[in-house]
């Protein structure tokens, strides 16, 4: 008996491609495909269209490196944002997270990863040269390194700080401390130590 | 600060549509969208194409009610299958599950749901009339009711059995018992009772 030939190759291909999405495995991809097929007009047709438009329109912002449908992106073009502050992030997902939190009204610079000599990722593989260019261009007074608090992230942050030395910009980084809503009992020693050191007046 | 306007409306729409897939929430839809955009050529373009093809080609088999790119579907057209046996399932997903298990080499009939008077689902809303027609057409010697062992499923099974009375077909149903790999300790009383009653010689 031929296994898996439950339907035409077109459906199998759809399932196979859906299963490559993060968060979907082979089983849930099959469920998603069936859901799409059943809700053809409400979901499959609009999603196919939305993806077609995404293929056509979405590109990388030549200024900050995020993905958007316009170049420069909507954020870089937004005149209401503080033009003197650049928030440096590893990835577009981090930019989206900061924007969702509405944490700051400034512009961004997406590195596209972190330095990782073991994986062969050097400074030339990241958008570091363009960051320095933007800072040299003038008008930037502060660069906030909103880079993950991992070993690679911090190595990258130090490298960028070195590169920016001598330019008239303040380089800052995110505070370490207890997450809002967090319990001390569940925190690691490093975070607790940093939170104590950086304690503020009540 | 405008929240959520992290990118153009096209990206937001893609995220919103992806979040309607089963298994993806708003957060994982965002991750999936970003993944698609980053892997444009490897994933976004082929997936958009696959969906376009699905929109164009996939329909419901007029014979058995499954979804496929041809009508009658590949299974109904498969001459190597036992033409005298019909496996009645609630949903296309159940058909796919049986085919994955390669449990039987016969043809199917998809009801499209179960009887549910409270939800206003009557016999005329399911593919029951077409099942009876297929059986009256002759050549069918056995109808296997592979319907979920839920209250609605069993009500539907009883209804179908009544309708098929008088036709020259054997109506059978799936065995109840201990799932393969299952532990008695975790099974409900109903299943245990059925498994004991239907015990077989070792």
pLDDT in tens, A130-176: 999 999 998 999 999 999 989 999 999 999 999 999 898 999 998 88
Token pair listed for B87: 């496996």
DSSP letter at A70 equals S
Number of domain units in chain B? 2
Token pair listed for A37: 């097929």
Same domain, B137 and B155: yes
Same domain, B32 and B129: no
- Residues A51, B51: C-beta atoms closer than 8 Å: yes
For residue A123, is it within any domain?
A: yes
Same domain, B53 and B73: no
Measured between beta carbons, which residues in chain B are less than 8 angstroms from residue A99?
Answer: 3-6
Q: Give the span between the Cα atoms of A34 and A30, in whole angstroms.
A: 6
Determine the Cα angle at A28 with ends B70 and B46, to 5°: 60
Measured between beta carbons, which residues in chain A are less than 8 angstroms from residue B66?
Answer: 7
What value does the mean pLDDT take over residues A81-96? 93
Q: Residue B15's domain is classified under what CATH number?
A: 1.10.8.420
B125 and B96 Cβ atoms separated by less than 8 Å = no
Query: Is residue B57 less than 8 Å (CB to CB) from chain A?
Result: yes
A8 CB-near residues (< 8 Å, 6+ apart):
B57, B58, B68, B69, B70, B74
For residue B183, is it within any domain?
A: no
Predicted local confidence at residue A5, as pLDDT: 56
Residue B118: give the domain boundaries: 67-173
- Closest residue in chain A to residue B68, using alpha carbons only: A7
For residue B109, is it within any domain?
A: yes
For residue B187, is it within any domain?
A: no
For residue B13, is it within any domain?
A: yes
For residue B79, is it within any domain?
A: yes
Measured between beta carbons, which residues in chain A are less than 8 angstroms from residue B57?
Answer: 8, 10
- Closest residue in chain A to residue B107, using alpha carbons only: A6
Same domain, B23 and B76: no
Residue A4 pLDDT > 70? no
Same domain, B166 and B77: yes
Q: Give the span between the Cα atoms of A131 and A164, in whole angstroms.
A: 9
Residue A77 pLDDT > 50? yes
For residue A9, is it within any domain?
A: no
- Residues A7, B37: C-beta atoms closer than 8 Å: no
> Per residue in A30-53, pLDDT tens?
999 999 999 999 999 999 999 999
For residue B89, is it within any domain?
A: yes
Same domain, B109 and B152: yes
Same domain, B146 and B89: yes
Measured between beta carbons, which residues in chain A are less than 8 angstroms from residue B45?
Answer: 55
A113 and A125 Cβ atoms separated by less than 8 Å = yes
């Amino acid at each position: 008996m031929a296994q898996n030939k439950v339907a035409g190759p077109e459906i199998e291909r759809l399932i196979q491609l859906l299963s490559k999405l993060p968060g979907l495995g082979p089983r849930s991809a099959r469920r998603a495909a069936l859901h799409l097929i059943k809700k053809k007009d409400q979901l499959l047709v609009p999603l196919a269209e939305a993806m077609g438009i995404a293929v056509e329109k979405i590109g990388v912002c030549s200024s900050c490196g995020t993905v958007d449908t316009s170049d420069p992106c909507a954020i870089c073009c937004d005149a209401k944002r503080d033009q003197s502050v650049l928030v440096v992030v590893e990835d577009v997902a981090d930019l989206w997270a900061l924007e969702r939190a509405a944490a700051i009204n400034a512009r961004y610079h997406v590195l596209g990863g972190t330095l990782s000599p073991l994986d062969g990722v050097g400074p030339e593989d990241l958008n570091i040269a363009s960051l320095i260019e933007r800072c040299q261009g003038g008008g930037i007074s502060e660069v906030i390194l909103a880079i993950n608090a991992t070993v690679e992230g911090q190595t990258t942050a130090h490298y960028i700080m070195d590169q920016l030395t001598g330019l008239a910009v303040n380089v800052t980084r995110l505070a370490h401390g207890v997450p809002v809503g967090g319990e001390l009992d569940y925190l690691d020693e490093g975070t607790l130590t940093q939170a104590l050191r950086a304690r503020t007046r009540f």
